[in-house]
Structure 1
Amino acid sequence: MKFLHLISIIISSIFLLNPAFGQTDQWPKRTIKFVVGFGPGGANDIVARIVAEGVSKQLGQPVIVENKPGAGSVLGADFVAKSPSDGYTFFVSAGGIITNPMIKKSMPYKEGDLVPVALLAVSPSIIVVPPDSTIKNLRDLIARAKDAKGIQFSTAGTGSTPHFVAEMLKVNAGGKYDIIPYKSGSEAKVAVLSNQVDATSESSAVTIPQIQGGKLRAIASTWNKRIEALPNVPTTKEEGYPQILIGHWAGLFAPKGTPNEILDKMNKAVEAALKSSEVQKRLVPQGIEPTPGSRASFVNFLNDERNRLAPIVQRANMRDD
């Protein structure tokens, strides 16, 4: 009897120490939170809200989006990294989850504190210029960059996707690029709209309205295939520069220690949502490409991105202290 009593105490202790233990079959039982590390209206926020609705239908529970902007998405990532690993708090990341540790002097959390769950979507970056610019295409931009004056290229800050585009242009096409960091992609885009700079690169999700309205001219997209919503805009690969490849991608991460059963269920829910016609009809017209896949394929994607971008960070000496 004493032995059975001891076993009972041990089992009870396991449940008390790990509330998720033994409860994965019932997950989810309440509202799930998707934390976005940027303010409302950006590419990641758009993706998060559309996917959250789709996942909610798959899981039968509300999925809400909470914005926690700051420090290039580090604040939001840190919040989730320190959240309970019970499957009710997830982080919707951008590429900064890979590049922030490369360029920042210190981080409030370790990379292993967040576990990859699913790649959600990619919003290709589009190189844009003012509509009255003499730059008509990528070849014109590169030729201008090789003139004595060079190109003024606005970005959303050190280590942002536009910054990487400018560095990729510099390394792979040559020329002089005066890279001007702004506080956000919106400000960098306004600098082009107001003719303060020659060009920038921003996600298709936030530039398509201005492009279609004639307020910006798109000269190339930086992904591996043309954007369905902009079929006449060539890719950098088509223009002869396959090394200029980057997108504004969104991925889902969970706190370390979240049970694998929950991670698998969430991955399957995301995959089903991304394949649904309702979600695709809302993402694709905005130039956002749904990217359903397994947890393993997302890990491979992250490794490829890390290996590809790390040399650029080192070569450009990107630092954001």
Structure 2
Amino acid sequence: MAPTHRISRRLAIALPFGLAFAARAQAQAAPLRLVVGFPAGTTPDTLARLYGASIAATLGQPVVVENRVGGGGILAAEGVARGPADGSVLFVAGNGPISINKHLTDRLPFDPDRDFRPVGFLGVSMQVLVARPGLAADLAGFIAHAKREDINYGSVGAGSASHLLMAGLSAQAGLKAQHVPYRGAPQALLEIAAGRLDAMVAAIGSALPLIREGKVVPLAVTGPGRDPLLPEVPSFEQAGLPGFVLPVWNAVFAPRATPDAVVERVAAALRQAQQDEAVRRGVTAAGFSIEARDPAAMTRFIAAESARWGEIARATGVRLTD
């Protein structure tokens, strides 16, 4: 009887510790959801999945990318803003929902400044104006054509950076241009390659495969100078149109009430991922560069950029109902 008693005591002592360990393991295994407002295969989705694999290893928990498409990211933003503020659900956002849309409507279902706090950048890129083959060989030819004949242009959604930049170009150059929103860049670019859409401004990484295949024609990039991925293509400023030095970016945001410690935990994992050679290669292949800004620096950057988008919105008169 004595040995049986000793075994029972060991079990009785070990059981609470075993249960506690199992509970901790289960909590650590709970997935982190990265909500993307665009379809699978788009640049935000690609970057989210690329980083997700790295931060999952660092955090010791699965990372799930959830595509919640609608309103150029507004549907995803609203869902995350109203969701749990415990770090379990984060928003992968670009310029539109955070920096642009607030200048285009008074009826956003969330407030990007009040409802979100930045965690870390995934990548920053310039954009490129591309046109269907045969429409124009350079920016001057494109502008001359669009002044003479009506054109249509695509975007990744109403109120997106691609929409507002093209609207700004149309207003500044006096183009006859009709906006056609799409759910993502791949669909619009394929329409250009097929000759059913005239042009669009897209992230360089999105357009690069079709540019290399000769299926769309690059006319100008939005950087301060030529981009390393398209060294033969001038910037808008070099082509005679200043005022179009505006990057596009994708970043991770948390609900505003998320605790500092939780935000810093994910921010640290993102910074570590940026040192991962596989992530760095993937970001470059997507046409983006890495920006290792901390949340405070991101806040300052986004505020300055938002002011510039506000100027363009007022100059063009674009509204989300357009």
Q: Distance in 2 between matches of 1:56 and 1:239?
A: 44
Whether the 8 Å contact between 1:163 and 1:179 is mirrored in structure 2 is no
Query: Could you tell me which amino acid in structure 2 is paired with residue 43 of structure 1?
Result: T
Whether the 8 Å contact between 1:123 and 1:247 is mirrored in structure 2 is yes
* 1:219-273 Cα shifts (integer Å, max 9, x gaps): 2221345443333223223334341123331111101211111212222221221
Unpaired segments ≥5 residues, structure 1: 1-26
Partner of 1:12: none
Whether the 8 Å contact between 2:72 and 2:158 is mirrored in structure 1 is no
* 1:249-298 Cα shifts (integer Å, max 9, x gaps): 11111012111112122222212212321111112123122222111111
Q: Distance in 1 between matches of 2:94 and 2:74?
A: 10
Whether the 8 Å contact between 2:206 and 2:287 is mirrored in structure 1 is no
What is the TM-score with the length of structure 2 in the denominator? 0.83
Q: Distance in 2 between matches of 1:145 and 1:137?
A: 12
Post-superposition shift, 1:310?
A: 0.7
Partner of 1:139: 140
Partner of 2:122: 120
Q: Distance in 2 between matches of 1:310 and 1:47?
A: 27
Q: Secondary structure at the match of 2:206?
A: helix
Q: Distance in 2 between matches of 1:278 and 1:84?
A: 31
What is the TM-score with the length of structure 1 in the denominator? 0.83
Partner of 1:277: 277
Q: Distance in 1 between matches of 2:266 and 2:58?
A: 9
Q: Secondary structure at the match of 1:245?
A: coil
Whether the 8 Å contact between 1:43 and 1:248 is mirrored in structure 2 is no
Partner of 1:22: none
Q: Distance in 2 between matches of 1:161 and 1:171?
A: 15
Post-superposition shift, 1:105?
A: 4.1
Partner of 1:44: 44
- What is the aligned-residue identity percentage? 28
Query: Could you tell me which amino acid in structure 2 is paired with residue 170 of structure 1?
Result: S
Query: Could you tell me which amino acid in structure 1 is paired with residue 203 of structure 2?
Result: S
Query: Could you tell me which amino acid in structure 2 is paired with residue 317 of structure 1?
Result: G
Q: Distance in 1 between matches of 2:313 and 2:140?
A: 25
Whether the 8 Å contact between 1:227 and 1:287 is mirrored in structure 2 is no
Q: Bigger shift: 55-64 or 277-286?
A: 55-64
Partner of 1:101: 102
Partner of 2:315: 315
Partner of 2:176: 177
Post-superposition shift, 1:29?
A: 6.1
Q: Distance in 2 between matches of 1:121 and 1:90?
A: 16
Indicate whether 1:158 and 2:161 are aligned: no
Post-superposition shift, 1:130?
A: 2.0
Q: Distance in 1 between matches of 2:96 and 2:115?
A: 15
Q: Structure 1 residues 224, 45: closer, same or farther in 2, change over 3 A?
A: farther
Q: Secondary structure at the match of 1:223?
A: coil
Query: Could you tell me which amino acid in structure 2 is paired with residue 207 of structure 1?
Result: A
Query: Could you tell me which amino acid in structure 1 is paired with residue 46 of structure 2?
Result: I
Partner of 1:110: 111
Q: Distance in 1 between matches of 2:157 and 2:81?
A: 24
Q: Distance in 1 between matches of 2:283 and 2:306?
A: 26
Q: Secondary structure at the match of 1:80?
A: helix
Whether the 8 Å contact between 2:39 and 2:67 is mirrored in structure 1 is yes
Indicate whether 1:213 and 2:235 are aligned: no
Whether the 8 Å contact between 1:72 and 1:100 is mirrored in structure 2 is no
* 1:21-78 Cα shifts (integer Å, max 9, x gaps): xxxxxx9663211110111111111111111112223323222211111122111111
Whether the 8 Å contact between 1:150 and 1:175 is mirrored in structure 2 is no
* 1:114-155 Cα shifts (integer Å, max 9, x gaps): 11111221232211112333x222232233344x32644333
Post-superposition shift, 1:171?
A: 4.3
Q: Distance in 1 between matches of 2:237 and 2:270?
A: 30
Q: Distance in 2 between matches of 1:225 and 1:61?
A: 41
Number of positions where the alignment pairs a residue of Structure 1 with one of Structure 2: 292
Q: Bigger shift: 204-213 or 221-230?
A: 221-230
Q: Bigger shift: 192-201 or 65-74?
A: 192-201
Whether the 8 Å contact between 1:105 and 1:320 is mirrored in structure 2 is no
Post-superposition shift, 1:102?
A: 2.2
Q: Secondary structure at the match of 2:126?
A: strand
Q: Distance in 2 between matches of 1:242 and 1:276?
A: 36
